[in-house]
Structure 1
């Protein structure tokens, strides 16, 4: 035989055997995939606004249209479309009354048109594609669109090469989630890094740069893969429970946030004093130390509103009784501090320690604790303080009044609110699998874990309202689920470097995108632990630079709290005279800008827009902003770029389009936007910029919010070539009147014209609130040209040097002055409340 033919035959045999081997490897998978491939066999319209697709596998996919741009998808592998528990997050699915859709059936697909969307449903294989009215694909199923396996339901979507994702609430890492994978499982992660996942809160809501948002309303351990596993698709899935998600079309990010707010509820508005400065530490748990800190703040003339008491204040977890060995007379302490403007916030944990014998036995006898499914006895939870404990089952309706009566004890003493700590519940993470044996009244722990903290916060707030009608609650939490904004505020947990506190720069840097992402998850009222929670402070001088930089970022957190673990004190004066001076200046800035901040807080309540916000939220067409994680917009008008690197002497800042005034405007520098600038920085520098065309409402520095009820209101004007406008929001700061139109809105406009400038202050609009004390308006306009004349309501004002007494005394005669060195025009006029006031400034 020809040897070449023999070799050829052997080669063919080897190829044949190789093909057979490949068939054994891949054919079962191919058959399985083909078996699982979904096709629509029929559909029916159950209501005017919804249709249900019947699938060959026995599954069903329901599409409910909340309005013309919001769709609920519900995939049920068994086709029954029922759920055990109603949503813990969603409060309404009625966006538009009597909404209805018409389904157009074609041979291979169905079409549904709304005024904003075109929804195409391919029959075989089943795939859903959503287009805008210009036929631009917004969201499309990959193949397969869904997988229904033993590990749960997963939805697979097409990932475009230029698509970016933002959100998922308080998650670490960069703002853009593309190329990353995340898990929702509330976890206590002390001293976490910029890549730690999961963390304390689970908010399965994200937005795409293609103009839509997705909220997966499933409380189990859900996962989100934004192209990490497959660069051509993104996937989200749940191991159990109802697979329900909402599609929300914007196309702007702010519109998407507004839809999410309608779906899950408006955030409660904090008391006005909550936006002041707060002091805390782990061992701040006694009367003597509390009084000493309060006295030091006032003596050193550093504004402060709030002092926290950590868990050691309580006699036993969690009986809400003061420790008698640490508090001589808690009621008198609270009364004395309230007279000096302080509000005291105490922590609470969601457990009853077995060491608190009588309370534990009482609660156990009533069935108020989570059960162990192996024994049906109360689950025995190891707790960091107080030994083993019973975990309170807040899904049991009978628990609410019992807990509410307990917490009211200290509210009656004079406490102003709570921070709910350790609600994961404590020291709980993905490795704590024994916790899955916990049985709540509403379900097993794998379903309730992520909403445990939220059910607790709901009870705390609803009971507060029941016992204290028409009074705003202060409640700040660590662990939560979507919808938390209806009950509580947030802080970012145990940040900082636990190995070496002075090496916490990366931890500080990570708090900026973390806080911005929290805001995108509808946590507008948020704080980091200023100084970082973790690490022993043994050398205050060595830690001082990191401390002041953390503080200079922290004052722009809507809620600003200095806090550290153990007995590590982080009061500003402990870090040396220079740092104390810089800290005072930064905290004073927060107080001066309180009217602006409070107005932005109302905006958060109305529309769900965060106060600390990523640049892309305001500049969505500028793709440069997608990668910026170290600076942010603060409300509508400010851009803040904190210094967060050790020893930094210059700071690069990207400024979006427009013109930007350096703030404070002391050097007269204005930058053109659309570029990255580099500015020098010192230890006292906070790089801040205000948009040209802004009007910023301000107030004088006070020792605490509300210390001077008739303080003047300052409007600082940064002119542009077109009209500047600001709508100031005011209310009484403490009641629920803000929900009932008991507020005041005052619109200020400044319009440049040929040869003169016009500024108007409108009478109050909407609402029926007005300040109880008379006050002055002070107008501060940055004006290069010295005015020749100034008129108020056509009456010419006199020019004179204005003094501090003119500034503070209500009823002063209207006048103006111009400082040629600073190029500032100051005008003093009384607040007429109901009367339109018009200034005309001739050049």
Structure 2
């Protein structure tokens, strides 16, 4: 919502007041509280009939300051609220200093200086956020300058007495932070539009809008700035952001209500910002090694039964493609009964036996089933949950129902502890059948009008985005209770802040086009800059049937994500249905087998990177280039390429003829496929066949790979320290690589010594070989498919 009509006028129909000066400064335990009148106080009489805004700035932890703006402090503080510092916090000591014109609050490496008086002694308003170190304190991260804090009432007031009742009015509170020259803003969840959010109006409100609109399934109230800081908006309610849009030089955050609190998080690097953001809202959990393998779905509306599933998996194995996880989508249950937790007995008469047979035959290692929190009226689950009071109700006592998605569906009320227990027990019955993972679909269509939650202290509007946190937590905790810490995994579509604690997430309903694939890359990059380490995408696109070339290019992209799933809506995604070609080197089947084998080879590297990623809350893959090269201005613009861990850079191909343009930051880069060396920074163009893409290795890298000879048809689970190849790329003495064992846990490190040799190899068991610089990688060399177009 724009509160201004251009530079000079207030938007029509609004009553808007701004903090004009700091009238009084009060020291708190951890900072300062500023009393800010919305008009200049020139005499005692000006203190009457004068609204004020209170601004509190406090130290929270090293490099983190909180800022809270309040108009009327008597408003109820209703929940739900984000769980902050869930792993515990080490509070930073607030260091407060004063002089004649300003007060500074420092929280470790970050400080805020409040200017209260001009040089002539007149009262003014201004807040500058900056590093606290003396050597860097002159550098401004961002600031709150003239008329950057205030409130708005709609419809506009003609008389202050009209606020005697607020039943016919809406009250909003807002803050604005300044944008610097050339500054870019990123993150805010999984957003499919432009990577840089400057110039955009963004609404943080979870919605089922696909990947081709301004709506998002995962709205995260956190953004990252290219100037070395991040901002977390501490509300699950709807947030309306004007990012250099209503006013080109500012980011405005506006919420309905009387207060707005946010946290400024200092870097100086993006990795530092994300690490501190993870301390604030929670770090991702690690995932089991089997989850990194290939997932295959039945697809959504396609017709399938036990024989179809058996045929899919046998066909994949016979073509040299090992499926690690088979996923049953919605129609494992009978139509009109979702979600009742019961297999369709006509199509799946013996679900436990079928799952056991699939696993025993080696056709898949694990099984996942689709789920949502909507309970259809036509099912035993609805009757039971309604009787027990587990479903959301209307204020008059009726169960809240509608016919969108499932006829007469109700919504599980996860504010009711007994409802959570029932839902978890229902999942346990599926685990008893052999189900290992749960796809938690939906969670976005949460009503806010005419509803009453079991926990009556919560605000229905705040529950809209927060619901997905409760939903995914119940499922994740049920999985970990059954299978153990680090073994639970869900496949979630919706999320909010803190949802990174319950991995993993996928990118929702995309179309089967090159444009949609690029949208998905942008969505993954933005979510990765919002504290999420693990992410996947529907390979081939969800909506429609992908042309063979789209499918094969998407296979290459999807197998380089942290997690990889073949899934569609009304058509299958097994490769032989795409082009009816099982034999040619460029067939969909051959392409899928090649990229699946490559990902399995990369697993020793990926698993080691995952251990580091969760500690820093950075993405394992689809990692924005700016995380690795924050001082390169071009890195903040790159939305068609990404890092896999900290050493591999990938650029998916979006053109049918295989041409692709990509950027290499400074340094020496080696093609993974050909060992051709390029030197950055610079832009390059290549043409690739379906078995390759620009995949470059950063200099000073020791890359541990699974052996090439047994990669085809292999599961994602094997002894990662055996049958390995260690490849060095422009290494210097002291360069290290982490080695993981068969369980995916760190078992040791290997290191380059002063002679350029590898030491610490005792942690590598079985057969392994050491490939030095410029050596090609055996059967993965496909130089005949790569053409250099840079000249």
| Bigger mean CA offset, 56-65 vs 692-701 | 56-65
Where does structure 1 lack aligned partners over 5 or more consecutive residues? Answer: 1-24, 429-433, 734-742, 765-770, 786-802, 805-818, 822-843
Corresponding residue for 1:234? 251
Structure 2 residue 51 is the aligned partner of structure 1 residue 52: no
Structure 2 residue 703 is the aligned partner of structure 1 residue 696: yes
Q: What does 1:361-380 correspond to in 2, within 5 Å?
A: 361-373=383-395, 375-380=396-401
Corresponding residue for 2:523? 514
Q: 1:398 aligns to what SS in structure 2?
A: helix
Compute the displacement of 1:181 (Å).
Answer: 1.6
Corresponding residue for 1:355? 378
Corresponding residue for 1:831? none
Corresponding residue for 1:570? 573
Corresponding residue for 1:724? 735
Structure 2 residue 477 is the aligned partner of structure 1 residue 477: no
Q: What does 1:274-289 correspond to in 2, within 5 Å?
A: 274-280=291-297, 281-282=299-300, 283=302, 286-289=305-308
Structure 2 residue 346 is the aligned partner of structure 1 residue 325: yes
Compute the displacement of 1:291 (Å).
Answer: 1.3
Check conservation: 1:70, 1:249, Cα contact below 8 A. Answer: yes
Structure 2 residue 174 is the aligned partner of structure 1 residue 157: no
Corresponding residue for 1:759? 758
Q: Provide the alpha-carbon RMSD of the alignment.
A: 2.8
Structure 2 vs 1, CA of residues 680 and 463 (structure 1 numbering), >3 Å: closer, same or farther?
closer
Deviations 1:403-438 (A, max 9, x none): 11101101111011100112113xx7xxxxx75323
Q: What does 1:213-612 correspond to in 2, within 5 Å?
A: 213-240=230-257, 242-280=259-297, 281-282=299-300, 283=302, 286-315=305-334, 316-339=337-360, 340=362, 341-356=364-379, 358-373=380-395, 375-385=396-406, 387-425=407-445, 436-442=449-455, 443-470=458-485, 472-496=487-511, 501=512, 504-535=513-544, 537=545, 543-566=547-570, 568-574=571-577, 575=579, 576-577=581-582, 578-611=587-620, 612=622
CA distance in 1, matches of 2:418, 2:516: 42
Structure 2 residue 128 is the aligned partner of structure 1 residue 129: yes
Deviations 1:82-131 (A, max 9, x none): 7322532423496434x332433444432234553342112344332112
Compute the displacement of 1:342 (Å).
Answer: 2.5
Corresponding residue for 1:15? none
Deviations 1:262-285 (A, max 9, x none): 111111111111101111111375
Structure 2 vs 1, CA of residues 28 and 299 (structure 1 numbering), >3 Å: closer, same or farther?
closer
CA distance in 2, matches of 1:188, 1:28: 30
CA distance in 1, matches of 2:295, 2:9: 62
Check conservation: 1:478, 1:493, Cα contact below 8 A. Answer: yes
Check conservation: 1:381, 1:391, Cα contact below 8 A. Answer: no
Compute the displacement of 1:657 (Å).
Answer: 0.8
CA distance in 1, matches of 2:240, 2:554: 32
Corresponding residue for 1:100? 93
Deviations 1:33-77 (A, max 9, x none): 6x6434333343332x23333344354222221234211112221
Deviations 1:359-409 (A, max 9, x none): 222211222111223x33110122324x11111111212211111110110
Check conservation: 2:130, 2:141, Cα contact below 8 A. Answer: yes
CA distance in 2, matches of 1:167, 1:471: 27
Corresponding residue for 1:713? 724
CA distance in 1, matches of 2:605, 2:554: 22
Q: What does 1:82-97 correspond to in 2, within 5 Å?
A: 83-85=77-79, 87-92=81-86, 95-97=89-91
Check conservation: 1:89, 1:217, Cα contact below 8 A. Answer: no
Structure 2 residue 17 is the aligned partner of structure 1 residue 39: no
Compute the displacement of 1:338 (Å).
Answer: 1.7
Q: 2:461 aligns to what SS in structure 1?
A: helix
Deviations 1:226-274 (A, max 9, x none): 1112112221121237512110010100000000011111111111111
Structure 2 vs 1, CA of residues 625 and 470 (structure 1 numbering), >3 Å: closer, same or farther?
closer
Q: 1:466 aligns to what SS in structure 2?
A: helix
Deviations 1:670-695 (A, max 9, x none): 11111112223223322211112211
Check conservation: 1:66, 1:93, Cα contact below 8 A. Answer: no
CA distance in 2, matches of 1:284, 1:53: 64
CA distance in 1, matches of 2:739, 2:719: 19
Structure 2 vs 1, CA of residues 490 and 109 (structure 1 numbering), >3 Å: closer, same or farther?
same
Check conservation: 1:203, 1:521, Cα contact below 8 A. Answer: yes
Where does structure 2 lack aligned partners over 5 or more consecutive residues? Answer: 1-7, 38-50, 117-122, 154-170, 784-791
Structure 2 vs 1, CA of residues 204 and 588 (structure 1 numbering), >3 Å: closer, same or farther?
same
Check conservation: 1:128, 1:140, Cα contact below 8 A. Answer: yes
Compute the displacement of 1:299 (Å).
Answer: 1.0
Structure 2 vs 1, CA of residues 469 and 28 (structure 1 numbering), >3 Å: closer, same or farther?
closer
Check conservation: 1:693, 1:725, Cα contact below 8 A. Answer: no
Q: What does 1:619-630 correspond to in 2, within 5 Å?
A: 619-630=629-640
CA distance in 2, matches of 1:709, 1:117: 42
Check conservation: 2:24, 2:35, Cα contact below 8 A. Answer: yes
Aligned residues: 714
Check conservation: 2:305, 2:348, Cα contact below 8 A. Answer: yes
Structure 2 vs 1, CA of residues 463 and 113 (structure 1 numbering), >3 Å: closer, same or farther?
closer
Corresponding residue for 2:46? none
Structure 2 vs 1, CA of residues 659 and 778 (structure 1 numbering), >3 Å: closer, same or farther?
same
Superposed structure 1 runs of 4+ greater than 6 Å apart: 25-29
CA distance in 1, matches of 2:322, 2:87: 44
CA distance in 2, matches of 1:77, 1:27: 19
Structure 2 vs 1, CA of residues 253 and 634 (structure 1 numbering), >3 Å: closer, same or farther?
same
Deviations 1:570-619 (A, max 9, x none): 11122223221122111111111111111111112211111221111111
CA distance in 2, matches of 1:416, 1:27: 56
CA distance in 2, matches of 1:178, 1:288: 52
Structure 2 vs 1, CA of residues 107 and 622 (structure 1 numbering), >3 Å: closer, same or farther?
same
| Bigger mean CA offset, 139-148 vs 474-483 | 139-148
Q: 1:605 aligns to what SS in structure 2?
A: helix
Structure 2 vs 1, CA of residues 518 and 730 (structure 1 numbering), >3 Å: closer, same or farther?
farther
CA distance in 2, matches of 1:77, 1:551: 53
Q: 1:482 aligns to what SS in structure 2?
A: coil
Given the two structures, how large is their TM-score scaled by the length of structure 2? 0.85
Check conservation: 2:186, 2:225, Cα contact below 8 A. Answer: yes
Q: 2:443 aligns to what SS in structure 1?
A: coil
Structure 2 vs 1, CA of residues 301 and 457 (structure 1 numbering), >3 Å: closer, same or farther?
same
CA distance in 1, matches of 2:285, 2:535: 13
CA distance in 2, matches of 1:470, 1:201: 25
Q: 1:40 aligns to what SS in structure 2?
A: coil
